[in-house]
């Protein structure tokens, strides 16, 4: 079974440029998460989807970040314009929907460097 796929793995851009990350979750997983992880820190949730609905986007900086999950499968996270402080690893995870106790399966992440 394929795991969570993310692309690109690395991205270097100049500030004020746009950037997009793509995630393909594990087949059959209804729930999809985007996390941001700074160096030496744990992941911080940006947005959570149940199917195609964003059910928790309270931590997403909506002035510059946007996300979508078309048809409840793949998802794209976009930053426009990027700022220096956005340099981090962006992680995508997926899980089966259900009662509490969903194991999250993480992708390898996209390491973003903003110059």
How far apart are the C-alpha atoms of 49 and 63, rounded to whole Å? Answer: 19
Please list every residue from 70 through 109 that binds another protein, using CB under 8 A. 91, 93, 100-109
Contact 4, 106 (CB under 8 A): yes
Residues in the chain: 115
Among the candidate windows 18-26, 40-48, 70-78, 79-87, which touches another protein by CB under 8 A? 40-48
Among the candidate windows 19-27, 41-49, 64-72, 80-88, which touches another protein by CB under 8 A? 41-49
Residue 17 vs 105, nearer CB to another protein: 105
Contact 86, 114 (CB under 8 A): yes
Contact 1, 66 (CB under 8 A): no
| 30 lies in the site for another protein, by CB under 8 A | no
Contact residues for another protein, defined by CB under 8 A: 4, 31, 33, 35, 40-45, 48, 55-56, 91, 93, 100-109
């Amino acid at each position: 079974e394929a795991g969570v796929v993310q692309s690109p793995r690395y991205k270097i851009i100049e500030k004020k440029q746009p950037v997009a990350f793509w995630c393909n979750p594990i087949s059959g997983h209804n729930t999809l998460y985007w996390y941001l992880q700074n160096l030496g820190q744990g992941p911080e949730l940006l947005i959570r989807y149940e199917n195609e609905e964003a059910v928790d986007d309270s931590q997403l900086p909506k002035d510059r970040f946007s996300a979508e999950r078309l048809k409840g499968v793949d998802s794209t996270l976009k930053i426009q314009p990027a700022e220096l402080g956005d340099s981090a690893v962006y992680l995508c995870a997926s899980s089966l929907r259900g009662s509490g106790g969903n194991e999250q399966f993480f992708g390898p992440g996209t390491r973003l460097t903003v110059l």
